A and B are shown apart, each in its own frame.
Chain A
Amino acid sequence: MTQTIAPTQSANYVGTSERKHNGEKFLRGEMVYIDDIRIPGMHFAGIVRSPHPHARIKSVDLSKASVAEGVIFVLSGAEAAKHTDPIPHFIDPEAFGGKTTDVRCLAVDKVVYVGEPVAAIVARTRQDAEAAVELVDVEYEILPFVIDGEESLQPDAPRIYEHWDDNKIISIPFISGDTEAVFAQAEHILEDELKIQRYSTQPIEPRGYVAVYDSRESSYTFYGACQNPHPLRWVLSHTLRVSENDVRVIAPTVGGAFGLKMHGHPEEPLTCILSKLSGKPVKWIEDRTETMLVGAREQMHRFKVSFTSAGKITALKDHFVANVGALGAPPGWGMVFLSGLAFPTGYKIAATDVLATVVASNKSPWNAARGYGKEATALVMERIIDLVARDLGMDPLEVRRVNLIESHEFPYKTAGGLNIDSGDYHAALDKAVEMIGLPALRAEQEELRKDNRYLGIGFAFELTPESGDIPGTLVGGFDTSTVKMDPSGKVTVLTGVTTPGGGNDTSILQIVSDQVGIEISDARIIQGDTLLTPYGFGNYSGRSMVTGGNAAYLAAKDIRAKLLIIASRLLETDESDIDLRAGWARSLSNPDKAIKISEIAYTVYTLAFATATGVEPPLESTRVYQPENIQHTPDAEGKINIYPTYSNAVHVAVVEVDADTGHVKVRRFGTVHDAGTIINPRFVEGQMEGATAMGIGAALMEHSIHDPATGHLSTNRFKTYLMPRASDVPMFESVHQVTPSPYTALGTKGAGEAGVGGAQAAVTNAVHDALAPLGVTIRQMPLNPQNVLHAIITRETGKQA
């Protein structure tokens, strides 16, 4: 049975920049996205949305719409409520001691934001549906509204939910030590504020759903551009009053998600109930103006820090307010909790007094957005570091060095209760300084200043707790993968994690192919189908490799163990002498002795009572991976740790600011990134580059603006909601640093969320460094010409900002 083979090519996939296994299909436009799905008899949904930020619904008249061309079904909120229950919150604030409210797929009594769904149409074509939407007469009693977060906290603010005694959803304290006592003794104290704008994420593919109700089976098949098929199934079954096993959720190829496609959106159950009540498959595809409604990130920080003359920060107080708009069922508001928890990032500050206040307003609801609140913490902390440095006349790098956790101090427990796994922050900082060539830049900066040109260099450290598990919610920190090898030796991987396009599917195949010794082209992976894959939580929180990847590793190892047993019997050598690689099992001591993996597989299935005796068929294994380090039982101080891994990065931005116009140009951008063990360097870099571009957009231009007079979103197209184009960002320079996590099987940490806050902070610090000769502090993000110029002018004329 042994045969002679040519020496095998190296097939060690892990650690190489393997190309996307299905990249060619993407390039050829052959992937199936939600809008490519067409079911026989499919109809289209049209949604009537509120034109008012706050109003009582007096009546909904659907009579004209119901007889319009192509219309087969119309639905009011009152009618929908007879068939559906409120949408369960992804993370219910009430469970954390806050207030809650019912969110329905169609508003019943009143609307609380512009764009809230009020009624729905099912028609033969999308055109007919959109035309009929215009024929629906809704009579509103207009109520006073509030869109500003701090105004909304005032006692006389319009009450958004009548059963609440104010508009505050929740206030969450994160307290460690006695800040007031430290302040009282402090050498130096600094107080300032920073307003982070509302901005969002804009995947190239908007949301979209196709629902098919099967009346014989009383079951739903739901195709959705979504991130978390299994948890969404639970939400749909509860909203639609059917059992969970009567709902199948399928996520086709998703064209970017960034949190926007986490569920709780009213259109999800709405499409389903429209299908059931109309008797037709129903499709709904979001328009970009609707995508733009979803908000995130708006926070007003007021902070106070004390520090020594040596730059050591001794206490930090930050009471901040986040305006999350109307309370929606998606996990948006939870970002604020994370912003608070992530303080003081990678800095050793013993006394912290952080209070995160979440307030509702009449803006449209938030959803999760890449960074999940931790980006705000990074921005504020990094501004604080640079402000302390400015106050002391110290080098901001030195202030970082004085305060950053040192490599020998890991695992390190933060004031907030997080247990940071591993890292070498000081080394990362040194690498960043080296990669950017700091001394030459400082010299250039000085030269240019003589000509009134303002070059700035800004650094930022970023800590990204990833792969979280929030107790009591379907935000799970573990996941499951199945690896199956068939009698031909081909492999199918089924996993509960999903991909928004970043390539975790390919990376998982790299891990599995290495373990079972096959060519990656002989493996396929199935994700995003609740009927086919093991239960899983999908993608968020940089979790897919940490959970699904490690689970696939364990499952593949089980198969590997069986392959090795059979191989050792067939090759008549020790298991330890066998290498599995590129489709072959081969003796290491005698490389001429080899056998195809496919023959071993066939043996397992066909000689189960002979050669394969004692090796349990089939070649299938399902394993779950629960990373270590998650600690849900409160410690002595009552703190829990919801994150197993902590990727980190140092970012450095070089900008030039036109002080006469306020225009900022990013000249260079570099990152030193530590995501633990790297499975595929190119994908990790891709994640970082995308997040960095997002962070540069956040720093300089992205801003969702509501018209204060009408409560309407003014920035509802790409012509008004500005995002950076390729020509707005420099080539990214990047360096990896690897400190494996001791808490995951492969040593991986999350990769995916890091970059947004770090880039935003580095650019912001660079702009301030550039404008240092003018002594400017900008307190309103983003740093667009309007805000930069305003800060320069008010500084020069001494006017109040």
Chain B
Amino acid sequence: MIAHRFKYSCPRSAEEAAAELAQMEGEETAIISGGTWVVPEMSHHLRRPKLVIDLKLAGLAGVSAEADAVVIGPATTYTQLAHSKHTPNFLKKVVAGITGGSQIRNRGTIGGSACYANPASDIPGALVTMKASLHLRAHSSTRIVEAADFFLDANVTLLEPDEILESISIPSTNDENLFSYAKFKTAQGSWPIVTIGCIASEDGVARRVIVGGAGAIPFAVDLDGQESEDEVLQRVHAAMRQPWSDVFATADTRRHIAGVMTQRAVREIAAAKNGEKS
């Protein structure tokens, strides 16, 4: 149960939210998008914000199609992503595998997952796989960063304390390409130990595989499609620079499984390509 008292605000726009943040000057503040991370943490007394800024009325939910990108509001829930016709195919697949039941899918948001940067979550790896760019807003400035640069460490992103994530744009260029997404986990309800995302190049080759969960942040494995299975393993092991371990698996185990799962993703894409031809 949340035991401490706090101020609650419900800004009407991203700019209003950023303006409120700017005034907090070092005081603990929590932004709530769906609240599925923040509220339990407050209930467990792990977080005691003085101010809670709820984004629900800030107009930050929704998926829209632009000329060469799909723009997703950070407060878009998994259910909304699943239902929108603009949601990229790859992301649809990711969303279909979100656990936690309707409670989480109806409340949890893409932006909340991105900003929390939990190593085992789906969204950080998915954003990197889709080469998403993130639009960040402070009171008097905005900037755009690539998903691949946004994640710095477990639960650490480029976001400054006075910044909010305002939108996510995903280039629509590869949306028709072959792709694969897989999670490796101990049980249905558990955090993945490894997630593997790959959107193949236009010619149907797995050139860039994104490994999530295995390390502190998602990382890319670059391939040319000519590697032997052993070489794929070596690439994965070399690419994993920020090891991560938790109660489910040590860093060594994660590295091993990441290698196996990457091999499988490459094989899956190749099989799909061959299937298409025949």
Contact = CB atoms under 8 A, between A and B. Distances in A.
B40 to A, nearest CB: 8
A723 B189 CA distance: 8
A134 B44 CA distance: 12
B187 A728 contact: yes
Contacts of B248: 722, 784-786
Nearest to B191: A719
Nearest to A131: B3
A119 to B, nearest CB: 16
B188 A725 contact: yes
The 8 closest A-B pairs by CB, nearest first: A130-B3, A131-B3, A660-B260, A727-B188, A725-B188, A786-B249, A722-B190, A728-B187
Interface string B182-211: 001011111101000000000000000000
Nearest to B189: A725
Given A701-B190, A715-B247, A722-B190, A789 B184 contact: no
A224 to B, nearest CB: 21
A700 B189 CA distance: 13
A724 B189 CA distance: 8
Contact of B186 (A130, A131, A289, A785): A785
A701 B257 CA distance: 17
Contacts of A701: 186-187, 190
Given A130-B45, A134-B3, A793-B256, A785 B249 contact: yes
A715 B187 CA distance: 15
B187 A722 contact: yes
B260 A728 contact: no
Interface in B105-136: none
Contacts of A789: 253, 256-257
A720 interface: yes
B43 to A, nearest CB: 9
Given A131-B4, A705-B247, A719-B191, A784 B186 contact: yes
Interface in B218-252: 246-250
A488 interface: no
A663 interface: yes
A719 B190 contact: yes
Nearest to B48: A134
Interface string B156-198: 0000000000000000000000000000101111110100000
Contacts of B57: none
Contacts of A710: none
B256 A728 contact: no
Most chain A CB atoms below 10 A, which of B1, B191, B260:
B1
Contacts of B261: 661
Contact of A785 (B1, B44, B247, B253): B253
A662 B253 CA distance: 10
16 contacts: A128-B3, A130-B3, A660-B260, A661-B184, A661-B256, A661-B257, A661-B261, A662-B253, A719-B190, A724-B188, A725-B188, A785-B186, A785-B248, A785-B253, A786-B253, A790-B253
A785 B260 CA distance: 13
Contacts of A26: none
Interface string A707-723: 00000001100111011
B2 interface: yes
A109 B40 CA distance: 33
Interface in A390-418: none
Contacts of A606: none
B184 A718 contact: no
Contacts of B3: 127-128, 130-131, 133-134
Q: Bin the interface of chain A by size.
A: 20 to 34
Contacts of B260: 660-661
Contacts, number: 74
A126 interface: yes
A727 B188 CA distance: 7
Contact of B188 (A126, A130, A728, A785): A728
B184 A720 contact: no
A130 B256 contact: no
A30 B196 CA distance: 46
Interface residues of B, number: 24
A424 B3 CA distance: 58
Interface string A650-686: 0000000000111100000000000000000000000
A289 B188 CA distance: 21
Contacts of A714: 247
A660 B263 CA distance: 11
Contacts of A130: 1, 3, 45
B190 A126 contact: no
Given A130-B3, A786-B248, A663 B184 contact: yes
Contacts of B186: 663, 700-701, 722, 784-785
Nearest to A288: B44
Contacts of A724: 187-188
Given A719-B191, A785-B249, A786-B248, A127 B184 contact: no
Nearest to B259: A660
B250 A786 contact: yes
Contacts of B1: 126-127, 130
Contacts of B45: 130, 134
Nearest to A705: B247
Given A134-B3, A661-B261, A785-B257, A289 B184 contact: no
Contacts of A133: 3
Interface string A127-155: 11011011000000000000000000000
Most chain A CB atoms below 10 A, which of B2, B44, B256:
B256
A789 B187 CA distance: 16
Contacts of B257: 661-662, 785, 789
Given A661-B261, A719-B190, A719-B191, A127 B256 contact: no
Nearest to B245: A786
Contacts of A126: 1
Nearest to A784: B186
Contacts of B246: 720
Contacts of A663: 184, 186
Contacts of A725: 187-189
Interface in B250-278: 250, 253, 256-257, 260-261
A720 B247 contact: yes
Contacts of B190: 701, 719, 722
Interface string A771-801: 0000000000000111001100100000000
A662 B194 CA distance: 13
Contacts of A660: 260
Given A719-B191, A725-B188, 9 more contacts: A126-B1, A661-B256, A700-B186, A701-B186, A722-B189, A722-B248, A723-B187, A789-B253, A789-B257
Nearest to A125: B1
A163 to B, nearest CB: 35
A289 B187 contact: no
B189 A718 contact: yes
A434 B2 CA distance: 55
Interface in A232-265: none
A130 B250 CA distance: 35
A427 B193 CA distance: 43
Nearest to B194: A661
A660 B253 CA distance: 11
B262 to A, nearest CB: 12
A786 B184 CA distance: 12
A706 B196 CA distance: 30
Contacts of B253: 662, 785-786, 789-790
Contacts of A131: 3-4
Contacts of A703: 247
Most chain A CB atoms below 10 A, which of B45, B193, B247, B249:
B247
Nearest to A659: B260
Contacts of B2: 127
A126 B187 CA distance: 34
A121 to B, nearest CB: 11
A785 B248 CA distance: 8
Interface in B31-66: 44-45
Nearest to B99: A725
